[in-house]
Amino acid sequence: MQLASAVMFVAELDRSVAFYRELLEWDVTVHNESVALLVNPDGYQLYLRTRGRRAQHPVGNIGVQYLIWTARDETDLLRCEEVLRKYSTQVTRQTVDGFNLVEGYGPDQVPVMVTYPGPEQAPRHEILQRIYGW
Instruction: Give the pLDDT score at 106.
Output: 92
Q: For the chain, give every domain's residue range.
A: 1-53, 66-134
- Does domain 1-53 fall under CATH 3.40.50.720? My reply is no
Instruction: Give the pLDDT score at 64.
Output: 76
Residue ranges of the alpha helices (H) in the chain? 13-24, 74-87, 129-132
Question: Distance between CA 20 and CA 69 in Å, rounded?
Answer: 11
pTM for the full model?
A: 0.88
Instruction: Give the pLDDT score at 17.
Output: 98
Considering only CA atoms, which of 82, 77, 67 is closest in space to residue 99? Answer: 77
Instruction: Give the pLDDT score at 125.
Output: 85
- Kindly give the parts of the chain with pLDDT less than 50: none
Strands (E), the chain: 5-10, 27-31, 35-39, 45-50, 68-70, 92-96, 99-105, 111-116
